[in-house]
Amino acid sequence: GQRASVPNPNPKAEERVVLWSVVGVLRSLPRTILPSPMAEAESAPGRGGAGEDAMDAAGPAPAEAVPVPDVNMNPLKRPSESCAQGDEADGQKRQKTESQVFTPRRYQLDVFEVAKARNTIAMLDTGAGKTMIAVMLMKEFGKKIDKSNNNGKIIFLAPTVQLVTQQCEVIKTHTDFEVELYCGASGVDHWTPQRWKEKVSKSQVMVMIPDVLLSALGKAFLSLDMVSLMIFDECHRATGKHPYSRIMKDYYHQSDHKPKVFGMTASPVIRKGVSSNLDCEVQFTELEKLLNAKIYAVADRAEIELCAPSAKEVDRYYDPKTVCFKDLSEELGFLHSEYDALITTLQNKPNYQNKESDEIAKESQRRLSNSSAKILYCIDDIGLLCASEVTKIYIERGQRTGWLKKASDATNIQSVANSSFLLAEISALHLKFFEDMSRIIDKHLQQGSDVLLNSESGCVEAIKTGYISPKLYELIQIFRSFSNCDHVRCLIFVDRKITARAMERTMKKIGHLSHFTFSSLTGGSSSVDALTPKMQKDTLDSFRSGKVNLLFTTDVAEEGIDVTDCSCVIRFDLPKTTRSYMQSRGRARQKDSQYILMIER
């Protein structure tokens, strides 16, 4: 509170004050706290103050105090069948049954009872067990599944491949349903109508990214008439033209049969510029209307704090940068202009005068411009050493795969041939451009300059020369403060994919940090600084297992990625929205974990 009242010339810090005020709004709004099932008997249904009576004054009651279906029982079988088959099960089956054992907490039962009765958006902290509430609902609604006519199916939606993969495994572990994963990695883009029919017929729980469901509904491979329950993970994304929003607007609200809806989120507020109760109210109302559901938050947070403790927030200040690379920036700008003109010259050759060649040239110029901007950003934000690594990343990519994919829409054989020649020439130009850029940047670095970072005096010298920024130096100091690498599991959030890759490579060269294992996790796309879905999964698995201690990541790891041993989250770049703040903070799951915010003085 005191910091907010002091004028701050740093705009980033001012943004942070606004962000923090919104977090306070989210935590204080009584409107979101709906009456619990126990309190509803004594108050009128709806929103508002009844939520304060949701728990006993004496504290959380034991789970047995609230009736709940046996979450270890297959809801598709009669009890006698389950017992008889359990006696005959082999060791592997018994092992799975043991893994299904789950004792719900009081607040989870509370949310479960509400969600059974009405469409609900559960607003619970990261790590509070929202997915297990969804599993309980699946077991409840699983009774409606009718395999003979494809009715009563359950659809679980998550916005990313990482999340659907993770949640699919959780559902398989804790239920006996036929669970099927539907995403690009599953080959859905190439399924025939017959293949879809077979998969849908077999599946009881369909775990999907929303784009797949949207496409399947549009092609009539699926119908909401088949569905009894729809679960939206990270449901705050249901805004604008997001597939969540389109599914609800184009199909759910147009359908006579409306499945039960259960949404899960840590923060219903997603847009920037939210700074008051009224702004939050507007977003809450929009989300509720779109999902045809009511937001529910648990009133008594004592039990939640026990199982999902909040990370301790720590501010870490760094000095403003003092080195300006005006001459270097101009030199790199001239280099970019030179190569951009060379591409135009190539494009104007007589044998390249066709639509395909024009598109290739424009795309190559766009990529050249984007890559140049990324390198200049790295010079300014993290220093010359990291920028040098960026040029090497681009060179390695160019040597390995070339820069542009072959045009797939060429209309004739000659166009294909000409496009291929142009691609080869432009790819060679791109590679030469980054080699020249690397040479220019390295000219400003002394030989063995990366060795400077192995000593305190060397780091100070590296800051003075712009080899590293004060911000990066402060991050190195944080890493040095981690005394026991065996117990460190730290996520470092940055805005840009290329920043994550460059910082990972630079840190690996620092001798006194060699006891740590660094890696980076970025979202999938066609850019050079992105990872494939398999690479993302392998990286996450290494982080979970402890093979990787320090993981540089973008917002791909903010939502729902479950790493229970994560002991520290560092926001190298400050969160820009309330959702980003709450989601990234929620990644620090270990007891006594830290959430470190890096702030310019």
- Which range is least confidently modeled, 246-250, 406-410, 566-570, 583-587? 406-410
Average pLDDT over every residue of 13-30? 52
Tell me the pLDDT tens digit for each residue of 343-379: 999 888 887 878 888 888 899 999 999 999 999 999 9
Nearest partner of 259 among 232, 223, 228, judged by Cα:
228
Query: 51 or 283: which carries more pLDDT confidence?
Result: 283
- Which range is least confidently modeled, 146-155, 249-258, 263-272? 263-272
pLDDT bracket for residue 16 (50, 70, 90): low
- Domain layout of the chain by residue ranges: 29-307, 314-320+473-600, 326-443
Parallel/antiparallel/unpaired status of strands 153-157 and 205-208: parallel
pLDDT higher than threshold 70 for residue 328:
yes
pLDDT bracket for residue 57 (50, 70, 90): very low
pLDDT bracket for residue 23 (50, 70, 90): low
Question: What are the CA-CA distances from residue 368 to residues 45, 202, 336, 356 (Å)?
Answer: 59, 48, 8, 18
Query: 28 or 565: which carries more pLDDT confidence?
Result: 565
pLDDT bracket for residue 528 (50, 70, 90): low
Tell me whether residue 20 is exposed, middle or buried, using C-beta atoms within 10 angstroms of its C-beta: 0 to 12, 13 to 18, 19 or more. middle
Q: What's the confidence (pLDDT) of residue 63?
A: 41
DSSP codes joined into one string, 57-86: TT-PPPGGGS----TTS-TTS-HHHHHHHH
Nearest partner of 210 among 246, 259, 157, 263, judged by Cα:
157
Q: Give residue 284's Cα distance to chain centre.
A: 22
Could you give the CA distance from residue 97 to residue 89 in angstroms, rounded to a whole number?
10
Query: 436 or 39: which carries more pLDDT confidence?
Result: 436
Query: 301 or 480: which carries more pLDDT confidence?
Result: 480
Q: What's the confidence (pLDDT) of residue 68?
A: 42
Q: What's the confidence (pLDDT) of residue 327?
A: 92
Tell me the pLDDT tens digit for each residue of 492-513: 999 999 999 999 999 999 888 8
Question: What tokens were used for 149?
Answer: 């006519």
Could you give the CA distance from residue 566 to residue 546 in angstroms, rounded to a whole number?
10
Q: What's the confidence (pLDDT) of residue 15?
A: 52
In DSSP terms, which residues pair with 476 in a beta bridge? Answer: none
Q: 29-307 and 314-320+473-600 share one CATH topology?
A: yes
pLDDT higher than threshold 70 for residue 417:
no
Question: What tokens were used for 599?
Answer: 């702030």
- Sheet holding 153-157: strands in order across? 179-182, 205-208, 153-157, 227-233, 260-265, 120-123, 294-296
CATH architecture group of domain 29-307: 3-Layer(aba) Sandwich (3.40)
Question: What tokens were used for 589?
Answer: 């799951």
Q: Taking the chain, what is the end-to-end CA distance rounded to the nearest angstrom?
A: 18
Highest mean pLDDT among 76-90, 344-358, 458-472: 458-472
Could you give the CA distance from residue 557 to residue 162 in angstroms, rounded to a whole number?
9
pLDDT higher than threshold 90 for residue 117:
yes
pLDDT higher than threshold 70 for residue 539:
yes
Average pLDDT over every residue of 232-240? 93
Q: What's the confidence (pLDDT) of residue 310?
A: 76
All residues at 6 or more sequence positions from 564 whose CB lies less than 8 Å from its CB, including other chains: 127, 589, 590
CATH architecture group of domain 314-320+473-600: 3-Layer(aba) Sandwich (3.40)
Query: 177 or 151: which carries more pLDDT confidence?
Result: 177
